[in-house]
């Protein structure tokens, strides 16, 4: 049926070459996935370091290590790096790259050279942002609101804007590549409704990437031209409207939130089935809810602007649409939960990450309704309530799933098993550390502590100290995998084809997969998630 491990196993993609050139200029989707994994890990720790400093500084209401200006630069760096250089590329560019061709039975993406180019563009863009950071920082916040960013900011807005602008091309090209790949490279018999839900979700993400990112490009271009050439576009002195900037920015940035979280949904569907050993509950409903979220995501951007001078009527329309988008999200949560029913649930580290995700995502989603409700948002917007809400979704949701995916597919990517116990401990630490960090922030927001505040009224100190304590747990939990995963590269047990006993084409080829993925093109005759696995491709040690 497919390429099983044979007497003389084909060379894996890792052994395809050992020179730097073979890594940096290889068009192999798996190699590029590894390049992304390494580079976004670096960005994650830069952004994380900024977050750590921010939490440290907020231990005291009066500030004790940073000036106001330094603090503002820190949260900008945290936002810019985490949003554009970690969250957006995280799951799609690493796991999407690695898995999509394999999951649909293809040898590579449709445009391998474009894929390599995306990575180089991404790194080049990162250089601009790091440069902005090194030569003195940017103090606009990640939103670059006009007219502050165009006329008043004393930071290095230009290199930062250029960096984000360039990274957009990487996002667009990756999205384009995925869309074409899913349409055109599916193996014989791999119909749309036999695709793993991972592919559906990444496909929906790609649509958002392709349609939303160019609007950001234009917006940043206008900011750039206003700052460099003095061409006012949002300048109130000329009758320009700063709210127009916000419309254009959020037309991109709200859908971008779904670029960040849809891939987490993608991973969830894989994890829940693999560790429940059961067919997913409501396959089509989950598939279509991904597309619905991608589409509806474009209809709600105005909910960021309820108090920004937007029309009240338009605000109400955006509000009701924002409530609507909760429905497909809730459906997914119900279906993942129902997938466990009548299954054989095991609690390996990836599953713990997945269960943690449901908990954090549900809280994040429900608090989203508070800020989508116009009348409530007037008080909550721009406070720590919003900060907590989106960190629950972005960090609690996406980052948990990113780590879940990393643990789940690590054996496939490297051929080695990581030590199980540290993995489980880290999953638990992330969940509880996260709750401790961000739960107090909901209360802070409710009490009226505005976001981006370096100095704050002293009565907020206790809650801020709790939050910082949680952050220190998170710092440890996010760093620990670096060590035990690195250890496993050399000393880990060999993984074999299918260490989890999971379904899916990627578990039918050797770990790490050969350069060509499949010796012969697989012909798919089964539905997605055919649990319990009938003709068991059981986990077995390969005989090397």
Partner 1 sequence: MPSRLAFVGVWLVLLALLGISMAVTLLELGPWHAALNMILAAASAVLVVWFDMHLRESSGILKLFATGTIIFLLIMFSFGLADWPTR
Partner 2 sequence: MSDALPAVHEQFQAPGQQLEADRLGLWVFLASEAMLFGAVFFALTVYHLIHPAAMHAATSRLDLVTGVIGTAVLLTSSTTMALAVKAAREGRRTEALIVLVGTVLLGLAFEAIKVHDWFDEYDQGLYPPMGPPFPLPQPAARLYFHLYFVSTGLHAVHLAVGILLVAGVAASLLSNRMKLPERTVTVEMVGLYWQFVDIVWIFLFPTLYLVSR
Partner 3 sequence: MNPLLPQPRLALPQLSNYAAEYDWLFFAMSVFSVVFVTAIFIAILYFAIKYRAGSPADRTDRIRFRSRVILESSWSLIPFVLLLVFFVWAGKMYVAWSMPPKGALEIAVVGKQWMWKFQHPGGQREINTLHVPLGQPVKLVMTSQDVIHSLFVPALRIKMDAIPGRYTNLWFTAKETGKYHLHCAEYCGTDHSVMGGWLIVMTPADYQTWLAQAGTDLSLAGAGAALFRKYGCSGCHGANSTVHAPSLGGLFGTTVRTEDGREVLADEGYIRDCITVPGKNRVAGYPPIMPNFSGKISEGDLIKLIAYIRSLPPGARP
Residues 280-309 that bind partner 3 (CB under 8 A): 282, 285, 306-309
How far is Cα 404 from Cα 349, in angstroms, rounded to an integer?
7
Give the nearest distance from C-beta 397 to partner 3 in angstroms.
14
Q: Per rule CB under 8 A, is residue 243 in the interface with partner 1? A: yes
Closest CB to partner 3 among residues 109, 197: 197
Instruction: Provide the 8-state DSSP code for 144.
Output: T
109: Cα within 13 Å, side-chain hemisphere? 32
Closer CB to partner 3, 14 or 132, in the complex: 132
Nearer to partner 2, 13 or 392 (CB): 13
The Cα–Cα gap between 286 and 332 comes to 6
**DSSP letters for 471-524:** HHHHHHHHHHHHHHHHHHHHHSPB--S-TT---SGGGGS-SSPBTTS-SS----
The item of partner 2, partner 3, partner 1, none sharing an interface with residue 490, based on CB under 5 to 8 Å by kind, is none
Rounded CA separation 445/272 (Å): 33
Contacted entry of partner 3, partner 2, partner 1, none for residue 147, CB cut-off 5 to 8 Å set by kind? partner 3
Can you tell me the distance from the alpha carbon of 316 to that of 372, in angstroms, rounded to the nearest whole number?
A: 10
CA nearest neighbour of 291 among 389, 383, 350, 205: 205
Which residues does 280 contact at the CB level (< 8 Å), separation at least 6?
197, 269, 272, 273, 286, 335, 339, 528, 529
Residues 291 and 286: their CA atoms lie apart, in Å, by 9
Size, binding site for partner 1 by CB under 8 A: 18
Residues 160-199, mask of contacts with partner 1 (x by CB under 8 A): -----------------------x----------------
Residues 215-234 that bind partner 2 (CB under 8 A): 215, 217-219, 221-222, 225, 229-233
> Of partner 1, partner 2, partner 3, none, which one does residue 461 interact with (CB within 5 to 8 Å by kind)?
partner 3
Scan residues 238-277 and list those touching partner 2 (CB under 8 A): 238-241, 244, 247-248, 251
Site for partner 1 in 266-305 (CB under 8 A): 298-299, 301-302
Of 9, 11, 241, 288, the one binding partner 3 by CB under 8 A: 241
Structure tokens at 179: 């869309």
421 binds, among partner 2, partner 3, partner 1, none (CB under 5 to 8 A by kind): none
Tokens for 38?
Answer: 């390494």
Q: How far apart are CA 87 and CA 439, in angstroms?
A: 21
211 near partner 1, rule: CB under 8 A: yes
Q: How many CA atoms lie within 13 A of 119 on its CB side?
A: 27
Q: Tell me which residues touch partner 2 (CB under 8 A).
A: 101, 106-112, 172, 175-177, 179-180, 183-185, 210-215, 217-219, 221-222, 225, 229-233, 235, 237-241, 244, 247-248, 251, 516, 521
Q: Tell me which residues touch partner 1 (CB under 8 A).
A: 183, 211, 215, 243, 247, 251, 298-299, 301-302, 309-314, 317-318
């Amino acid at each position: 049926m497919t390429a099983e491990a044979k007497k003389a196993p084909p060379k894996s993609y890792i052994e395809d070459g050992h020179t730097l050139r073979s890594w940096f200029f290889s068009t192999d989707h798996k190699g590029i996935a590894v390049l992304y994994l390494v580079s976004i890990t670096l960005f994650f720790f830069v952004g994380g370091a900024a977050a750590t400093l921010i939490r440290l500084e907020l231990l005291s209401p009066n500030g004790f290590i940073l000036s106001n200006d330094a603090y503002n630069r820190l949260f900008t760096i945290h936002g810019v790096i985490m949003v554009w250089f970690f969250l957006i590329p995280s799951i799609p560019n690493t796991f999407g790259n690695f898995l999509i061709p394999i999951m649909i039975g293809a040898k590579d993406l449709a445009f391998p050279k474009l894929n390599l180019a995306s990575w180089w563009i991404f790194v080049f863009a990162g250089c601009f942002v790091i440069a902005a950071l090194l030569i003195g920082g940017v103090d606009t916040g990640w939103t670059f609101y006009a007219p502050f960013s165009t006329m008043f900011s004393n930071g290095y807005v230009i290199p930062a804007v250029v960096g984000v602008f360039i990274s957009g091309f990487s996002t667009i090209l990756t999205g384009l590549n995925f869309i074409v790949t899913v349409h055109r490279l599916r193996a014989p018999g791999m119909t749309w409704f036999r695709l793993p839900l991972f592919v559906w979700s990444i496909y929906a993400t790609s649509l958002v990437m392709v349609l939303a990112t160019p609007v950001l490009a234009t917006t940043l271009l206008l900011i750039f031209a206003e700052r460099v050439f003095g061409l006012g576009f949002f300048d109130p002195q000329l009758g320009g409207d700063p709210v127009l900037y916000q419309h254009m920015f959020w037309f991109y940035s709200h859908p971008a939130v779904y670029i960040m979280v849809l891939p987490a949904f993608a991973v969830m569907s894989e994890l829940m089935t693999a560790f429940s050993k059961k067919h997913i509950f409501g396959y089509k409903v989950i598939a279509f809810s991904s597309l619905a979220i991608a589409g509806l995501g474009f209809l709600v951007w105005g909910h960021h602007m309820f108090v920004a001078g937007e029309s009240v009527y338009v605000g109400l329309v955006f509000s009701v649409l924002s409530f609507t988008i909760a429905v497909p999200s809730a459906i997914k949560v119900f279906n993942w939960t129902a997938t466990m029913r009548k299954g054989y649930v095991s609690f390996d580290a990836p599953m713990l990450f997945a269960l943690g995700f449901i908990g954090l995502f549900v809280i994040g989603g429900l608090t989203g309704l508070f800020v989508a409700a116009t009348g409530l948002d007037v008080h909550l917007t721009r406070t720590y309530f919003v900060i907590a809400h989106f960190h629950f979704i972005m960090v609690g949701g996406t980052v948990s799933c990113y780590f879940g995916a990393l643990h789940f597919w690590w054996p496939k990517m490297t051929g080695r098993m990581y030590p199980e116990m540290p993995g489980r401990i880290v999953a638990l630490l992330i969940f509880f550390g996260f709750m401790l960090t961000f739960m107090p922030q909901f209360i802070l927001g409710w009490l009226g502590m505005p976001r981006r505040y370096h100095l704050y009224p002293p009565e907020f100190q206790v809650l801020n100290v709790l939050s910082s304590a949680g952050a220190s747990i998170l710092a440890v939990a996010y760093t620990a995998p670096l060590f035990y995963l690195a250890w496993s590269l050399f000393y880990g047990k060999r993984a074999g084809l299918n260490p989890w006993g999971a379904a899916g084409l990627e578990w039918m080829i050797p770990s790490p997969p050969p350069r060509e993925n499949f010796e012969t093109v697989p012909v798919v005759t089964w539905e997605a998630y055919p649990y319990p696995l009938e003709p068991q491709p059981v986990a077995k040690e390969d005989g090397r």
